[in-house]
Structure 1
Amino acid sequence: MGHLARTLGGLAAGLVAAATAGCSAGSGDTAASGALGPATGEGERDWPFAVEEVGRYDEPWAMAFLPGSGDLLVTERSGVLHLRDAGTGAQVEVSGVPDVVDAGQGGLGDVVPAPTYEQDGTVYLSWVEAGDGGTGAVVGRARLDTGDGEAALEGLEVVWRQVPKVEGDGHFSHRIAFSPDGRHLFVTSGERQQGSPAQDTTNNLGSIVRLTPDGEPAPGNPLEDRGGVSAELWSWGHRNALGLQFAPDGALWETEMGPEGGDELNVVEPGRNYGWPEVSNGSDYGGGEIPDHAEGDGYAAPAAWWDPSISPGSLLVYDGEMFPDWRGDALIGALSGEALVRVDLDGTTAGEQQVFDLGERVRAVDEAPDGAIWLLEDEGSGRLLRLTPAR
């Protein structure tokens, strides 16, 4: 199927494809194409939420609410970590943050409280470092100490690295998620714009890894018997996975940027190959054709895909009380799409979508303890927004 036909077909289908259709898609992180207007009947005055600006940042990338206090951590790609007080909105800059390579898509990335945070104050972060061969993403953990109006990371240690390091400053991915039981650490590892490493299971590029909280390969991984880096892999054939979260039913979901068109929403299953760069419902930059996903091709197909691109930069599977009709649904921050996209999820099936055109690149989406939805817009706007039900 040609790129134009895919585009028209995808739009006619409401930009949703069932997993049985074997369709996937993606886009570049800095792509400017594929901006989406409001879905039919979804003009701003009809939105089911009110929007309140509660802060601004220069280069925001990720955020996480802390258990117990509800305080908010916000990362900036330049290497700054902020702690925002839940009650007053006042914030301090956290000291002890590692040095990062701030170039292109690289820098300070994700931040996630450990399952043991309320007992020991541990948080996990991802960032980009330099080394032999170029740059690569790493994940580390530290204790967050707070008090007297200050905050600091103490005892920072690296627990995981992308292997190998390569030249360039794109497709690090480095999103972090813990399994619901807290026993396993999952990390998305981009293919660094290299393509073929995603099909090479002797490295961890273009994969999702499953680790112990200490960063060791988790027992029971699909390639455990091979040892080494291969033993880390949970799934592979990924391009640039910038969203990762468990649903309330325990399914692991991932959003992934494809090439020119073909962004994906995937259910992540152990030992599955998601096809990049052998198959994609997008086209290579410059118009080069890539075979579409097809039934029986041996690759895991996405639950939903987009062409034109929306550039999915984040993922939340909502589980709050404030928007009861959205419980269990995927909320995706669209970068080039400049929108919040809701996808109705039923088990491992993706259904109807709503697109809320915000007019700015949405970098991160998270759920506050009270069920409000918080958004971080990308640099250039950098607004921190709180979404609550419309009155």
Structure 2
Amino acid sequence: MAWAQAKPATTPVAPRPVVVASGLENPWAVAFLPSGRFLVTERLGRMRVIDPEGKVGPPLPGLPKVAVGGQGGLLDVIVDRDFAANRMVYFCYSEPDTEGRSGTALAKAQLSVDRARLDGVQVIFSQSPKVASRNHFGCRIVEAPDGTLYLTLGDRFSRKDDAQKLDNHLGKVIRIAKDGTVPADNPFVGRADAQPQIWTWGHRNSQGATLGPDGRLWMIEHGPQGGDEINVLQAGRNYGWPVITYGENYGGGKIGDGITAYDGMEQPLHYWVPSIAPSGMTFLTSDRYGRAWRGNLFVGSLKFGFVDRIELQGGKVVAEHRLLADGGARIRDVRQGPDGLLYVLTDQSNGQLIRLQP
């Protein structure tokens, strides 16, 4: 079975969830392979291929050592835009050192022709510094139109103030070439006080990112207690964490000076109070659910277990609608497949890959 495009729906109706595969252990990301197959990561350090009938394959050998624990593990995965020609896969994970610390790393590998293993694994980026923390790895990958790669990087929770410093990779979004080199037009190239991979800074922990219809990088990030954000990123801009936030400390109390605006720091396009704990993010570019849904943004909620369908107009959020709100499962990833349909992953010990069927 190949990915099949069907006629668009005539009216927007709530789609029904169809389980494609189950028995996944805390799945984190899904990517799409030719002939109706899926590539899925499990946070505990496994990557698997799922066939068109929903059969889950064995773990692929060839992965590097992964620091599993807390929020760390094997996290995002995407396939190269030219996968049919090069069979290249990119994945990010929590990379350990020999002293009990870890950091987010980005690697690439070739999926073997028989889809049974990963060959030629090469780490093309390692977050610096590594930190003795099991939280806030970020770790969403997006391939830009020019073939460069964006990677979101968390502040590691215990080092939030470093998100406001350019001499490290904590609380940043980076942009690199597929061989790990730094593009010459990155905003901080040539500055002695800055890491050249940095694209934007002042972030907390982003677990969702995607290209928008405008060609720019859109991302969601977790606030503390309240203050989850949608941001549309512009090169070299500072997005404020932890100086400005619409959230507060866990258990209450302001963060820093408790302010929400400051000169030189960007405002979010949208924020949530209370937090929905957003993870997974995609724009719908198809008409499979009716034309009214085309161009909507879809975001998963870990905290409340729904998919948020977000209507945008004039660059602003004008309405939100909850899908799968009665499912009771944490939503970890949301992607549009080659068939124009939406797919979600549930973050459970018996996690599922679900298709939203019109």
TM-score by length of 2: 0.90
Query: Is the CA contact (8 Å cut-off) linking 1:172 and 1:191 kept in structure 2?
Result: yes
SS at match of 1:52: strand
Structure 2 stretches lacking a partner, 5+ long = 1-11
Question: In 2, Cα distance between the equivalents of 1:288 and 1:174?
Answer: 28
Measured against aligned partners, the alpha-carbon deviations of 1:339-365 in whole angstroms (never above 9, x if no partner) come to 100111336332211122132110111
Q: How is 1:61-76 mapped onto 2 (pairs within 5 angstroms)? A: 61-66=28-33, 68-76=34-42
Please name the residue that 2:315 is paired with: 348
Please name the residue that 1:14 is paired with: none
Q: How is 1:1-391 mapped onto 2 (pairs within 5 angstroms)? A: 48-56=14-22, 57-66=24-33, 68-86=34-52, 88-93=53-58, 94-131=60-97, 134-147=101-114, 151-182=116-147, 184-193=148-157, 194-226=159-191, 230-290=195-255, 291-294=258-261, 297-323=263-289, 324-346=291-313, 348-356=315-323, 357=325, 358-389=327-358
Instruction: Give the residue type in structure 2 aligned to 1:284.
Output: N
CA deviation after TM superposition for structure 1 residue 228, in Å: 8.2
Measured against aligned partners, the alpha-carbon deviations of 1:170-209 in whole angstroms (never above 9, x if no partner) come to 0001110011232x10000100002101001000110000
Distance change in 2, residues 1:244/1:221 (3 Å): same
SS at match of 2:85: helix
Instruction: Give the residue type in structure 2 aligned to 1:249.
Output: D
Instruction: Give the residue type in structure 2 aligned to 1:359.
Output: G
Identify which of structures 1 and 2 has the higher relative contact order when contacts are C-alpha pairs closer than 8 Å and 6+ apart.
1
Question: In 2, Cα distance between the equivalents of 1:154 and 1:227?
Answer: 36
Moved more, 274-283 or 48-57: 48-57
SS at match of 2:112: strand
CA deviation after TM superposition for structure 1 residue 229, in Å: 5.9
TM-score by length of 1: 0.83
Question: In 2, Cα distance between the equivalents of 1:225 and 1:337?
Answer: 44
Give the length in aligned residue pairs: 338
Moved more, 312-321 or 271-280: 312-321
SS at match of 1:69: helix
Query: Is the CA contact (8 Å cut-off) linking 2:21 and 2:55 kept in structure 1?
Result: no
Instruction: Give the residue type in structure 2 aligned to 1:119.
Output: A
CA deviation after TM superposition for structure 1 residue 116, in Å: 2.5
CA deviation after TM superposition for structure 1 residue 140, in Å: 0.3
CA deviation after TM superposition for structure 1 residue 225, in Å: 1.6
Moved more, 114-123 or 88-97: 88-97
SS at match of 1:118: helix
Question: In 2, Cα distance between the equivalents of 1:121 and 1:345?
Answer: 35
SS at match of 1:124: strand
Question: In 2, Cα distance between the equivalents of 1:238 and 1:70?
Answer: 35
Query: Is the CA contact (8 Å cut-off) linking 1:331 and 1:365 kept in structure 2?
Result: yes
Query: Is the CA contact (8 Å cut-off) linking 2:284 and 2:296 kept in structure 1?
Result: yes
Query: Is the CA contact (8 Å cut-off) linking 1:266 and 1:303 kept in structure 2?
Result: yes
Question: In 1, Cα distance between the equivalents of 2:54 and 2:267?
Answer: 43
SS at match of 1:196: helix
Distance change in 2, residues 1:90/1:383 (3 Å): closer
Question: In 2, Cα distance between the equivalents of 1:198 and 1:327?
Answer: 35
